[in-house]
Amino acid sequence: MKPAKGPRPRHVPQRTCIGCRQEEGKRELVRIVRTPDQHVTVDPTGKARGRGAYLHREKSCWEKALKGATISYALKITPAKDDVEALRAFGMALPAEESEPV
């Protein structure tokens, strides 16, 4: 007997956070992008043109990614100091750690 067919489950794209290296659904992460004019910015839509990398919406992941050369390696560019400061300001405005649902 064949199993009953129901609606097909929706595919959720998975991405890896460059801060903590944990895999998560694409919509759960924040995308940063290297734009065609060689700037690094936060991409709130997730659809901007350019090479992208993903981070959790947690301050700790942003601190880890901004501390070393993680962003440079992921985006294959050394970001300008003002771009790094803009990313740092965005990251520091995020919550320290997301609470687990009980």
The CATH-assigned architecture of domain 15-92 is: 2-Layer Sandwich (3.30)
- How many CA atoms lie less than 13 Å away from 15 in the CB half-sphere? 18
If the chain, 102 residues long, is cut into consecutive pieces of 10 residues, what is the mean pLDDT of each piece? 79 94 94 95 93 95 92 94 94 75 48
Cα–Cα distance measured from residue 85 to residue 66, given in angstroms and rounded to the nearest whole number: 9
Q: Determine how many CB atoms are found less than 10 A away from the CB of residue 97.
A: 11
pLDDT of residue 6: 82
Considering the entire predicted model, what is its pTM?
0.84
Domain ranges of the chain: 15-92
